[in-house]
Structure 1
């Protein structure tokens, strides 16, 4: 018989606790900022006895997400402080089941004390729906300082923003040749920001919410976190150049094209020198 708290003792939850604390330690998870979600695979469901977990109360989603119908997800709780997740995983984490038509959800474990999944759940779901066929099962949202600042200083078009990050350091093109999709400021937790993010997720794993934070889709927690770290480093270089009174020209278009050929990746946007 599977222990009722097997999921809490799993390697995935151990990794998530470490990541949540790292987000806070970097200054990206002030108070209850940020949220994390992971779609469960068949092995996790079997090892944790998910099928035997009873549905509780069903809640309507703001918009049905048929692509996730009948699936299960691990998600941080609404109001969870990232620095406390490692100490209170039974309260700050939980498992969620989606209805067979993808229009409702029910908590089935965790969220002790009457908690609920993240208030930005609908954004996570709409991004998961677009990325699940591309191999990504993890979504991480956090308030990365330099990317947030850069959204104040830079043209917010996805193409212009991405090209500047590519120019700042070689690793940018290496890890996100599919660029950064930029959403102009929208009400956090709203269906509108979820739909805008879902649309960008069709082509981008990294999505920046102007004046708010960043969201990354990855095939693991480390992958999603690493994407954010890479973009954040490039944004830091850009912003510190601005603070020094300089516009850094960085890597030229021709050099980016050459780098892409060397790495075997194709930049999502056209560049002079192709």
Structure 2
């Protein structure tokens, strides 16, 4: 199953995924089996070469995802294991022509392996991206500590003000997360409802902050998706540090934030 020769471009993307998984673990953003990563690799493969590889498993995907080739992490697997055991805890799968099932064409070597329970969310986001933002191939979901704390704060009910206060902490946050954070209302994990609210978030924002859960980003590659989360969380962390020290930060003015838009 994992004997197929991966294109060089895919090998490079998998190396980046391993690197980012290490970053997430070091940050304490991926406790136990928390978080998942996926990437739309369809453009890197000749799908005819993949047909007939692996046993087909039933799964109801969004119809438009038929024929997609996706990298995705496994259910119950630990992101930290992506650093050294990528083929055991993740896979590349081919969605069938009816979007009613998939075959694992690479990886998934762990006993009783299955794709993440967030498969419906990831495949739905990749379908949305393929139509509206085809340059965005990667999706990263993780548990950034300070952003999750912000989702419990009253600012979560005022998305514009939450973004203003996070942006004002330093110029880089405004420049490198220019569309900001979406305050995505709570939805149960592994459901179509969570997929729907996340897609709504990516219509306007760089980061979807899942209420009382975690954060998700999408970008052309996994490293850029990590950067959105890393920089956004830095703004939230600095804001909370000021609050913890007992003062309200002066912050960049609205005029200064507008001035920075030339660099976004």
Q: TM-score, normalised by structure 1?
A: 0.86
CA RMSD of aligned residues (A): 2.3
Alignment of 1:11-160 (within 5 A): 11-42=12-43, 44-46=44-46, 51-52=50-51, 54-61=53-60, 64-112=61-109, 113-132=111-130, 133-134=132-133, 135-157=135-157, 158-160=159-161
Whole-angstrom CA distance in 2 between matches of 1:75 and 1:52: 18
CA deviation map 1:56-91 (0-9, x unaligned): 223222xx4233221110001111111112222221
CA deviation map 1:223-265 (0-9, x unaligned): 00111111011010111111112222411212211221x32x4
- SS in structure 1 at match of 2:152: helix
Whole-angstrom CA distance in 2 between matches of 1:70 and 1:108: 13
Which range moved further: 97-106 or 140-149?
Answer: 97-106
Contact 1:107 1:116 (C-alpha < 8 Å) held by counterparts: no
Q: 1:126 to 1:188 in 2, by over 3 A?
A: same
Q: 1:12 to 1:53 in 2, by over 3 A?
A: farther
Q: CA deviation at 1:5?
A: 5.1
Whole-angstrom CA distance in 2 between matches of 1:119 and 1:70: 20
Q: 1:67 to 1:169 in 2, by over 3 A?
A: farther
- SS in structure 2 at match of 1:127: helix
Q: CA deviation at 1:30?
A: 0.8
Aligned to 1:247: 248
Q: CA deviation at 1:218?
A: 0.9
Contact 2:42 2:70 (C-alpha < 8 Å) held by counterparts: no
Q: CA deviation at 1:165?
A: 1.5
Aligned to 2:181: 180
Q: CA deviation at 1:52?
A: 4.6
Whole-angstrom CA distance in 1 between matches of 2:226 and 2:126: 16
Q: CA deviation at 1:174?
A: 1.0
Q: CA deviation at 1:96?
A: 1.4
- SS in structure 1 at match of 2:38: strand
Whole-angstrom CA distance in 2 between matches of 1:19 and 1:49: 31
Whole-angstrom CA distance in 2 between matches of 1:188 and 1:70: 25
Contact 1:53 1:109 (C-alpha < 8 Å) held by counterparts: no
Contact 2:150 2:156 (C-alpha < 8 Å) held by counterparts: no
Task: Give the total of aligned pairs.
Answer: 258
Which range moved further: 205-214 or 160-169?
Answer: 160-169
- SS in structure 1 at match of 2:209: strand
Whole-angstrom CA distance in 1 between matches of 2:234 and 2:22: 19
Q: CA deviation at 1:39?
A: 0.3
Q: 1:154 to 1:237 in 2, by over 3 A?
A: farther
- SS in structure 2 at match of 1:84: helix
Whole-angstrom CA distance in 2 between matches of 1:177 and 1:196: 20
Q: CA deviation at 1:151?
A: 1.6
Which range moved further: 229-238 or 91-100?
Answer: 91-100
Contact 2:68 2:94 (C-alpha < 8 Å) held by counterparts: yes
